[in-house]
Structure 1
């Protein structure tokens, strides 16, 4: 598995709405995430700053990256855009993080 982590930003007035929308993730979006190789996906909120920390494990980087080209992902981005910092295509502004340490019980 490939471990990925990145940062995003949600606007402070939308913390609850951001969580509510993810608690009610569309089944089509969930299916697309899984079909594109995500084995595990978590997002954490720092309520003091609005910073989101996302962590996921994927089978294949190219397969995962292809999710961004799907209609359902673009629809989700449009749905989430009012709540967070986004790029011109509605994708979340994100900063990829470089792994510097990992410990796992095998």
Structure 2
């Protein structure tokens, strides 16, 4: 199991929309995330900075990276593009964080 943490940004005026879209997350997207080894996935919002902190545990890094190529993931990125910072391919601008401490 690999623990992954990352930071993204949502537009300041789109906090509520970002939260709503995740409350209504597509079941087929969740199923595909699980199929690609994801579990214990959380995203937190810092309203003052509009920064999102994400945490996910994955079975295997290679399997996880293939998630980005799935049709449902591409559709989700296009759906989210209007409300957050993205690259030209609609993927979210995301900065991976290095784990410096962990306690079970």
* TM beyond 0.5: yes
Runs of 4+ in 1 over 3 A off after TM superposition: none
1:41 corresponds in structure 2 to: 41
Give the structure-1-normalised TM-score: 0.97
Q: How big is each residue's C-alpha offset from its partner over 1:18-77, in whole Å with a ceiling of 9 and x where there is no partner? A: 000000000110111110001210000000000000000010001011000001000000
Point out where structure 1 has 5 or more consecutive residues left out of the alignment: none
- TM-score (structure 2 length as normaliser): 0.99
User: Does residue 27 of the first structure (1) align with residue 27 of the second (2)?
Assistant: yes
* Structure 2 unpaired stretches of 5+: none
Q: Is 2:18 the partner of 1:18?
A: yes
The residue that corresponds to 2:77 in the other structure is: 77
C-alpha RMSD of matched pairs (Å) = 0.5
In structure 2, how many angstroms separate the alpha carbons of the residues matched to 1:27 and 1:6?
23
Q: Number of matched residues?
A: 104
